[in-house]
Amino acid sequence: MENKQNNKKALLGRRIREIRTAKGLTQEKLGSKADVSYKFVGEIERGLQNPSFDTLEKIAGALDVESFELFRFEHESTNRKDIEARMAKIVKGISEDDLRQLFFVLRGLYPHI
């Protein structure tokens, strides 16, 4: 159970780091904007701390994202079977026109296939 909890903290930390770096912020700047210690930000990003809901709200606000964005871990899935299943679900749920557009995009990205 503890290992599973540590994995969740690591996922959250990586996601916060990903958003922070995409926004061009340092840990120090994020800490200042969120009114938390930059050392605490670093510990969260390394999965060493379990931040409170209030702290996560402050971090999300400082990153200018909705709180739920901190928990979007889809990008972590690298297992081919899992990715194929997710793609199949997307394809089944879109209109014929959207499917056609998706096909053209994929064909443009992978013309050799």
pLDDT of residue 83: 80
Tell me the per-residue pLDDT of 29-58, one tens digit each, with 9 for 90 and over: 999 999 999 999 999 999 999 999 999 999
Rounded CA separation 15/9 (Å): 10
pLDDT of residue 82: 78
pTM exceeds 0.75 for this model: no
pLDDT of residue 37: 97
Sequence-separated (6 or more) residues with CB below 8 Å from residue 61? 34
Average pLDDT, the chain: 90
